[in-house]
Structures are given as structure tokens and as C-alpha cells.
């Protein structure tokens, strides 16, 4: 834990701070599996998405608009398993999942097993803003999308030769989705805007060869996506079944929220008392923050618990204190982060920052 420098507390109140983190999936992403061209293409796409989101935040736009802008760019990029480039189901169709959450009021929207919508994140957002529900699925969600006037695409829009080859491999070998490493490439973004509002969103095609209407963690609020102004914003990627069982995104936010008042209380104890036995100074929440290390520790703990069950993957987070970071137990995760303090970078492999 650490006390915020007075200047930092002032900055927060003045509304100058913002942060954003994005991901494009986690997995067995090793240097020997990725060509130099893929490496360059993915970094360029991550940079473009990060820039788009940062631009919104820099200009004073909302975290919700920032993450939507970033996610749409990654959905439109065929290198990622979301929107164009989504993986195929066992029946060689695409069933897309997405969710979004606004930490200022805990409003949320999600869609599962959809197709026809060009940008699933826009449909999740429409469910949040324009319907009385949190989650819609399948044909009903597709109908809602058309009624909302969202851009529609033909079923073949999502297909890429790379994803077709993957499903053909799976079908030829008759292997289970769990036996292949073709599931990664999910995209997500989290942000804190200048008003201090947290936002999180995730979008995916799910797992190659999924069947029986399987739905992963990405559209499940609390598992793959969560945002709460009192704690953090999280978007996940990885073996969805494990993220659902641990409720990873909500679990990280809850641990931050619970540790936060305890940390204030502990810091208060270090303040000297006067002759009457009263504290000479009362610590106010706006002067206080969890340190980068503490937030990482909490995220790492939850990822380790998910890993102990047998799951792999990772998360990105943003905090109300302007931090943005990652935690993952895979060799790599496509990721990027930017903050008002000048942090701006994208990375792929586990040994990069």
C-alpha cells in the first residue's frame, strides 16, 4: 500500500488522469510460432487500437467510448478471434460472444452465440443502453441487432483462410477443442477516463470447434468482463470454462475493493496521535491508492488460482488510480497499455514489459 503524493491526489481531482489497456488474446505465443510479418502486423494493430482508445480519453471522452473504439479496431482486424477472423464452430459457423460494462453505475450488456452483426461490441453496448436486459443470445440477439439498425454482414464475412484451416484440422483429427491451441485471439479493453469512470469490454469468436451452443467467459459479466469505479476494470482471455468457475474479473475487482479500505485503515494506524490519544491527521480516501505492485499481486493471485484448476490465460486491468496492467500464465499475450503519465507500449511475449 502507499500514500499518494499530494500532487497525485490533486491530479485525480483535477481530472487529468486516464489509462487504458487492451489485449488481443493469450496463449502459447512463442517467438518460434510467430513469423516476423505476423509479429509486425499484430503490433501495428495493437498500436492502432491503443491509439484510438487513448485519443478518446486524452480529449476527455468517456471510458466506454474509448474501449468501444479500441475493440472495434481489433474486431475488424482478421488477425484476431473477434468479428472478422473469428474462429469456426464444429458446424463451420461463427458464433460470437461479447460484453461491456460501465463501472460508474454497474450497467452492463452482453450477447452470446450471435452472428450477422459486424461489430459484436456494439451489440453488447446496445443491449446495455437500449434494452431492459443484460444478456441476449442467438437468434433473438441477432433480431435485436437488426432492429437497432446495427451494421449487418453476410455469414461469410467473418471467415479467413487461416481460421478455415484450423477448423478443418480439428474436424480431420476429430480432436476436442481442449486438445488444440486454436482458441486464442479474443480481444478486450479496459479504461479509466478523466472523470474517473471505469469501463471494460471483451469480444470473441470463442473456441475453434466449439459445439452444442457452448458459451465461454467473454460474454459473462463477472467472468470475462467487469468494471466498478470503486475498484477496477478487467477484461479476460483464455480457457473460458476456468474463468467462469473462478469468476475471474469480478474476483479481482472484489479483492481490490476489499483490500482498499483495509489499507486505508492500516495507514491510519501509522499516523501519530496527540496527547488526547486522537490521530493528528485523518487519512482521506482521495489521498490513498493501492500501489502498482499490490494491484499486480491481487491479479496474479486470482490468475494463479484459475491456473491451479488447470486453466490458462490472462487479464488486463485498469484502476481508479490511473494504473493499467496485465497478468497471465501463458507464454505470451497480445497486449498494450497507455496512460496520461506517458506510458504507451504494446507487447506480445511474456519476457517483454
Q: Which residues are annotated as a binding site?
A: 214-217, 237-240
**20-59: which residues touch ligand ASP (CB under 6 A)?**
25
Decide if 225 is catalytic.
no
**229-258: which residues touch ligand ASP (CB under 6 A)?**
237-238, 240
Q: Which stretch binds ligand ASP (CB under 6 A): 36-44, 126-134, 179-187, 285-293?
A: 179-187
In this chain, which of 70, 119, 186, 235 binds ligand ASP, going by CB under 6 A? 186
Shorter beta-carbon distance to ligand ASP: residue 120 or 216: 216
Catalytic, out of 68, 89, 117, 186: 186
Shorter beta-carbon distance to ligand ASP: residue 53 or 206: 206
Shorter beta-carbon distance to ligand ASP: residue 147 or 179: 179
Please state the closest distance from residue 348 (CB atom) to ligand ASP, in A. Answer: 15
Contact (CB, 8 A) for 112 and 137: yes
Shorter beta-carbon distance to ligand ASP: residue 212 or 282: 212
Please state the closest distance from residue 289 (CB atom) to ligand ASP, in A. Answer: 30
CA distance 341 to 33: 34
SS3 sequence of the chain? CEECCHHHHHHHHHCCCCEEEEEEEEECCCHHHCCHHHHHHHHHHHHHHHHHHHHHHHCCCCHHHHHHHHHHHHHHCCCCCCCCCCCCCCCCCCCEEEEEEECCCCEEEEEEEECCECCHHHHHHHHHHHCCCCEEEHHHHHHHHHHCCCCECCHHHHCCHHHHHHHHHHHHHCCCHHHCCCCCCCEEEEEECCCCCEEEEEEECCCCCCCCCCCCCCCCECCCEEEECCCEEEEEEECHHHHHHHCHHHHHHHHHHHHHHHHHHHHHHCCCECCCCCECCCCCHHHEECCHHHHHHHHHHHHHHHHHCCCCEEEEEECCCCCEEEEECCCEEEEEEEECCCCEEEEEECCCC
Please state the closest distance from residue 21 (CB atom) to ligand ASP, in A. Answer: 15
In this chain, which of 61, 63, 83, 216 binds ligand ASP, going by CB under 6 A? 216
CA distance 137 to 293: 39
63 binds ligand ASP, rule: CB under 6 A: no
In this chain, which of 79, 218, 225, 329 binds ligand ASP, going by CB under 6 A? 218
Please state the closest distance from residue 82 (CB atom) to ligand ASP, in A. Answer: 9
Shorter beta-carbon distance to ligand ASP: residue 237 or 323: 237
Shorter beta-carbon distance to ligand ASP: residue 187 or 346: 187
Please state the closest distance from residue 236 (CB atom) to ligand ASP, in A. Answer: 7
**194-213: which residues touch ligand ASP (CB under 6 A)?**
204, 206-207
In this chain, which of 217, 228, 287, 294 binds ligand ASP, going by CB under 6 A? 217
Where is the binding site for substrate, in residues? Answer: 214-217, 237-240
Task: List residues near ligand ASP by CB under 6 A.
Answer: 25, 183-184, 186, 204, 206-207, 216-218, 237-238, 240
Catalytic residues: 186
Amino acid at each position: 500500500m502507499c500514500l499518494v503524493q499530494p500532487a497525485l491526489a490533486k491530479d485525480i481531482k483535477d481530472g487529468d488522469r486516464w489509462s487504458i489497456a487492451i489485449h488481443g488474446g493469450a496463449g502459447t505465443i512463442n517467438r518460434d510460432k510467430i513469423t516476423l510479418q505476423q509479429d509486425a502486423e499484430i503490433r501495428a494493430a495493437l498500436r492502432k487500437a491503443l491509439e484510438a482508445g487513448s485519443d478518446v480519453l486524452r480529449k476527455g471522452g468517456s471510458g466506454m467510448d474509448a474501449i468501444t473504439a479500441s475493440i472495434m479496431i481489433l474486431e475488424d482486424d482478421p488477425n484476431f478471434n473477434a468479428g472478422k477472423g473469428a474462429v469456426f464452430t464444429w458446424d463451420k459457423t461463427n458464433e460470437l460472444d461479447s460484453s461491456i460494462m460501465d463501472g460508474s453505475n454497474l450497467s452492463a450488456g452482453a450477447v452470446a452465440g450471435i452472428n450477422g452483426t459486424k461489430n459484436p461490441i456494439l451489440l453488447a453496448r446496445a443491449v446495455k443502453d437500449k434494452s431492459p436486459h443484460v444478456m441476449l443470445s442467438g437468434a433473438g440477439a441477432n433480431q435485436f441487432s437488426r432492429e437497432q439498425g446495427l451494421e449487418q454482414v453476410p455469414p461469410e464475412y467473418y471467415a479467413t483462410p487461416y481460421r478455415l484451416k484450423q477448423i478443418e484440422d480439428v474436424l480431420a483429427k476429430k480432436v476436442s477443442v481442449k486438445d488444440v491451441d486454436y482458441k486464442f485471439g479474443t480481444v478486450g479493453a479496459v479504461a479509466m477516463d478523466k472523470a474517473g469512470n471505469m469501463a471494460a469490454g471483451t469480444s470473441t469468436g470463442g473456441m475453434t470447434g466449439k459445439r452444442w451452443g457452448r458459451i465461454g467467459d467473454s460474454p459473462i459479466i463477472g467472468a470475462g468482463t467487469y468494471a466498478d469505479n470503486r475498484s477496477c476494470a478487467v477484461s479476460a482471455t483464455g480457457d473460458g470454462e476456468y474463468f467462469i468457475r473462478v469468476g475471474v474479473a469480478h474476483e479481482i475487482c472484489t479483492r481490490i475493493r476489499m483490500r482498499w479500505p483495509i489499507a486505508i485503515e492500516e495507514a491510519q494506524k501509522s499516523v501519530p496521535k496527540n496527547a488526547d490519544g486522537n490521530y493528528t491527521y485523518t487519512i482521506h480516501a482521495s489521498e490513498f491508492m493501492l500501489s502498482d505492485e499490490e494491484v499486480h499481486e491481487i491479479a496474479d493471485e486470482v490468475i494463479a488460482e484459475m491456473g491451479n484448476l488447470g486453466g490458462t490465460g490472462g487479464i488486463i486491468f485498469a484502476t481508479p488510480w490511473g494504473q493499467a496492467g496485465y497478468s497471465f500464465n501463458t507464454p505470451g499475450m497480445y497486449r498494450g497499455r497507455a496512460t496520461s503519465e506517458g506510458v504507451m507500449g504494446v507487447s506480445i511475449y511474456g519476457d517483454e514489459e
